Amino acid sequence: MSVDVDRILRLLDQSRINRDVLMAHDEARETFRLPTMRARDSREFKWIVTTYYQHHVRHAGQGTASEEEAFGEAKRLLDTVYTKDPFQEGYNVALRMGLDGSQGGLRDVINQIADTLKARHLQKYMDHVYFDHINPLSKTENMELSRAFYHRFGPVLREFGFEVDEMTFAWNTRAALEYHRQVLEHLFGIAKKI
């Protein structure tokens, strides 16, 4: 059986990932009108965070969430993102920012939710590519994929100082493909600046 390397690489193409996975998250953030930079009180903060979460998941095509579900998930995200001190909940840090407008205020809080949801969706997509298209490969097919990948991208990766040889790729395909995606994202970013 021959491995369709081109198909796998198309799934990992940065333009495709931007178009099919990431753009909806950017559009969700862009289309949400933040009513204020500072919430009047904790109730208004909770309402804004909940409303934004519902807007984002709906706009990004990830379903709908009830008010309770949206607030619960947004609170968990904020607890994770803003936890720097193990004795203080991240939600309380975000709430303080939202109330006093410090460190970007509500704009930063909403951006952190958007960025976290975007990163989760990207990880889910990468898991899909790996588990559905790469993990089922036999050792022989994995070596074939590794050779094709290395033949096609080895010189480019070495030119930019990245050393991934064929055997490293074959033994840890998941990490090598993630590394490849990051290199392409980096090169795509450079190309956009030119």
User: In angstroms, rounded to a whole number, what is the distance separating the alpha carbons of residues 8 and 153?
Assistant: 14
Q: What percent of the chain has pLDDT over 70?
A: 78
Domain contains 168: no
- pTM exceeding the 0.85 threshold for the entire prediction: no
Domain of 84, in residue numbers: 21-131
84: pLDDT confidence band, cut at 50, 70 and 90?
Answer: confident
Distance CA 159, CA 73 (A): 43
SS3 191: helix
Structure-model confidence comparison of residues 86 and 44, the more confident one = 44
Contact 27, 59 (CB under 8 A): yes
User: Mean pLDDT over residues 7-18, rounded?
Assistant: 83
Joined together, the tokens standing for residue 192 give 């956009």
- How big is the chain, counted in residues? 194
User: How far apart (Å, rounded) are the C-alpha atoms in residues 138 and 125?
Assistant: 22
114 lies in a domain? yes
Stretch 82-103: mean pLDDT = 86
* Residue 32 included in any domain: yes
pLDDT score for 45: 97
Tens of pLDDT, residue by residue over 144-176, are 777 777 777 777 666 766 666 666 666 666 666
In a domain, 16, yes or no: no
When pLDDT is averaged across residues 93-98 and rounded to a whole number, the result is 94
Distance between terminal CA atoms of the chain? 41
Q: CA-to-CA distance for 120 and 113, rounded, in angstroms?
A: 11
111 vs 175: CA distance, rounded Å: 28
Whether 98 is in a domain gets the answer: yes
Domain annotation covers residue 43: yes
Q: Which residue has the tokens 């930079």?
A: 37
Is residue 94 included in any domain, yes or no? yes
3-class SS at 155? Answer: helix
What's the number of domains the chain is made of? 1
Task: Tell me whether residue 37 is in a domain.
Answer: yes
Given a cut of 60, whether residue 125 has pLDDT beyond it is yes
Q: pLDDT band at 99, cuts 50/70/90?
A: very high
